[in-house]
């Protein structure tokens, strides 16, 4: 056996069976669910212009994204990017299995499966050009929480991981916050069961303080590094998604206005169906996990004598109050953000933590564990299947979006080139939206994909820039589409308003040396 073989064997033997199961489950189930996206090159609207993208997103606060995506090159190579992304997720699943102290191998497999099947990952695959970097960011967020409990310097190592995670994508901050809440609550529960003093130097209060140090220091380090890089590059934060107002929500009245929205969103999102509950079977599976976790929870309360302790009620209501802002923390940091599905990856922790808690049923409900745990396994498997099915419905719709856009743009390009007086390089004014009067909606997946950003809708083109990228990269034609700021005045002109929508004969018209192309509805 070679030295490398010996090293790998000794290292893997140190990993628990649950950790290995979670890593294997994440990678294998991830391949089974997302292989259609990895084996194809189907762009979404942003991907049209990102076939090569250096990921310099410093103006969006993502100062480490360029480095995180560098391993797969800056070319859009779905197979390579997908493999790297699943590798990061497999590592994250292993860290989660260790962090959550899973008892069984089967729970480890389901943990990995839930992590990779959750529809937020499918939406991220729609933006595959940045997927591997984002999954590295999620891995760092999980590691931040795990490292916080690793010795004296753990909180500082955790802060470093959190800072770099946010430097890739700020939306994984809620992942770290919710996991931290879980770890702190578990510490208080363990202290009660073992009659440990809640306030001693190594008890749950110390755990709470460590996680607060990690969170505050991590955010501060992220922000300091961001400002340094902005200064070096001579740039300012962009207005996109309100990132230029990073942190201002906590400093003025917008913070107070954002708080009610955080709580209403927490209630509305699960009830809206879609990603968290894509169908009735998923709803049943999630409900079974939550019921099993609740039964384990009350079994733990009874055994630990928590119901007689005032501290329990304080922690219980504080947790209920903290969970909505923890999951929706981005709304507090940047209140004007469009909180789409990619940013909601932390919601997978609802079934994941329920599974982890129910996995401990044998410790507190010995008589019912024999019945409860098989139900938990069934519920987890059903949920993974439903999530994977929703993902592939989204991929199927993305494929059809591409094909419809290809046929549409081929016809449009032919009409442009056949317009009398048109010459190559002539300025072309186009709004970009495809009118539903001439082309009615044909997407049948709306109930499943409406909330799956990047995978929903009928067409890939929404702006002149989208048209230009599609024609250039997929039809091999260069058309001089005017930027949106130059099209605005044309949009309100009498000549444009009188035109009919494509494919009508009057949909193309040359006015003052500019070819007007009207694709949207007439009125």
Phi first, then psi: give them for residue 252, nearest 5 degrees: -145, -165
Domain final position from 395, 426, 444: 395
Looking at the structure, tell me whether residues 89 and 61 fall in a common domain: yes
Looking at the structure, tell me whether residues 304 and 421 fall in a common domain: no
Domain final position from 361, 395, 429: 395
For residue 1, is it within any domain? no
Looking at the structure, tell me whether residues 170 and 126 fall in a common domain: yes
For residue 134, is it within any domain? yes
Looking at the structure, tell me whether residues 368 and 416 fall in a common domain: no
- Domain containing 232 equals 17-395
Domain final position from 371, 395, 419: 395
Full 3-state SS string of 331-393: HHHCCCCCCCHHHHHHHHHHHHHHHHHHCCHHHHCHHHHHHHHHHHHHHHHHHHHHHHHHHHH
The alpha helices in 44-194, defined as continuous H runs, are: 65-68, 78-99, 105-117, 119-126, 131-148, 154-168, 173-193
Looking at the structure, tell me whether residues 342 and 490 fall in a common domain: no
For residue 522, is it within any domain? no
Looking at the structure, tell me whether residues 295 and 344 fall in a common domain: yes
Looking at the structure, tell me whether residues 482 and 386 fall in a common domain: no
For residue 419, is it within any domain? yes
Looking at the structure, tell me whether residues 283 and 425 fall in a common domain: no
Looking at the structure, tell me whether residues 412 and 355 fall in a common domain: no
Residue-level pLDDT, tens digit, the chain, 523 residues: 566 566 556 656 678 999 999 999 999 999 999 999 999 988 888 888 888 888 888 888 899 999 999 999 999 999 999 999 999 999 999 999 999 999 899 999 999 999 999 999 999 999 999 999 999 999 999 999 999 988 889 999 999 999 999 999 999 999 999 999 999 988 887 765 555 544 445 688 899 999 999 999 999 999 999 999 999 988 888 765 555 555 554 455 556 667 888 888 888 888 876 788 998 999 999 999 999 888 888 777 777 667 777 877 888 888 888 898 898 877 776 666 778 899 999 999 999 999 998 888 666 555 666 677 788 889 999 999 999 999 999 999 999 999 999 999 999 999 999 999 999 999 999 887 887 777 777 888 878 888 888 898 888 988 888 899 999 999 999 999 998 888 888 888 888 988 988 988 999 999 999 999 998 876 6
Considering its fold, how many domains does the chain have in total?
Answer: 2
Looking at the structure, tell me whether residues 383 and 421 fall in a common domain: no
**Beta pairing partners, 516:** 429, 509
């Amino acid at each position: 056996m070679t030295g490398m073989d010996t090293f790998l064997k000794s290292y893997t033997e140190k990993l628990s069976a649950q950790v290995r199961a979670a890593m294997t489950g994440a990678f294998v189930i991830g391949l089974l669910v997302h292989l259609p996206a990895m084996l194809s090159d189907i762009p979404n609207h942003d991907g049209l212009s990102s076939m090569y993208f250096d990921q310099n997103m410093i103006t969006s606060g993502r100062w480490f994204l360029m480095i995180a995506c560098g391993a797969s090159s800056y070319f859009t190579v779905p197979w390579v990017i997908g493999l790297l992304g699943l590798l990061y997720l497999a590592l994250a699943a292993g860290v989660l299995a260790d962090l959550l102290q899973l008892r069984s191998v089967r729970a480890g497999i389901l943990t990995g499966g839930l992590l990779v099947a959750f529809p937020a990952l499918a939406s991220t695959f729609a933006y595959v050009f940045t997927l591997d970097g984002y999954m590295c960011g999620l891995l760092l967020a999980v590691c931040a929480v795990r490292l916080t409990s690793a010795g004296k310097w753990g909180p500082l190592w955790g802060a470093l991981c959190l800072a770099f995670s946010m430097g890739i994508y700020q939306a994984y901050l809620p992942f770290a916050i919710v996991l931290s809440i879980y770890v702190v609550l578990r510490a208080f529960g363990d202290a009660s069961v073992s009659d440990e003093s809640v306030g001693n130097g190594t008890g749950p209060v110390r755990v709470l303080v460590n996680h607060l140090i990690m969170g505050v220091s991590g955010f501060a380090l992220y922000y300091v590094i961001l400002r340094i890089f902005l200064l070096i590059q001579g740039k300012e934060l962009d207005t996109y998604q309100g990132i230029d107002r990073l942190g201002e929500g906590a400093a003025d009245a917008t913070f107070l206005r954002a708080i009610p929205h955080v709580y209403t969103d927490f209630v509305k999102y699960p009830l809206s169906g879609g990603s968290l509950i894509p169908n009735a079977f998923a709803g049943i599976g999630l409900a079974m996990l939550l019921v099993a976790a609740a039964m384990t929870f009350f079994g733990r309360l009874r055994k630990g004598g928590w119901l007689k302790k005032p501290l329990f009620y304080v922690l219980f209501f504080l947790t209920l109050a903290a969970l909505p802002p923890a999951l929706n923390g981005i709304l507090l940091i940047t209140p004007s953000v469009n909180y789409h599905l990619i940013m909601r990856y932390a919601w997978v922790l609802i079934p994941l933590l329920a599974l982890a808690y129910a996995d401990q049923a044998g410790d507190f409900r010995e008589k019912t564990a024999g019945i409860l745990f098989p139900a938990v396994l069934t519920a987890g498997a059903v949920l993974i299947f439903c999530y994977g099915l929703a993902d592939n419905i989204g991929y199927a719709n993305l494929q059809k979006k591409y094909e419809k856009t290809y046929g549409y743009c081929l016809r449009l390009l032919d009409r442009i080139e056949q317009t009398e007086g048109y010459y190559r390089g002539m300025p072309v004014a186009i709004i970009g939206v495809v009118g539903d009067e001439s082309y009615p909606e044909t997407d049948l997946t709306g109930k499943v994909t409406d909330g799956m950003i990047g995978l929903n809708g009928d067409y890939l083109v929404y702006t002149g820039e989208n048209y230009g990228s599609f024609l250039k990269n997929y039809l091999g034609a260069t058309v001089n589409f005017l930027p949106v700021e130059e099209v605005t005045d044309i949009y309100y002109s009498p000549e444009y308003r009188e035109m009919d929508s494509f494919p009508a004969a009057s949909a193309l018209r040359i006015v003052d040396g500019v070819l007007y192309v009207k694709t949207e509805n007439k009125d």
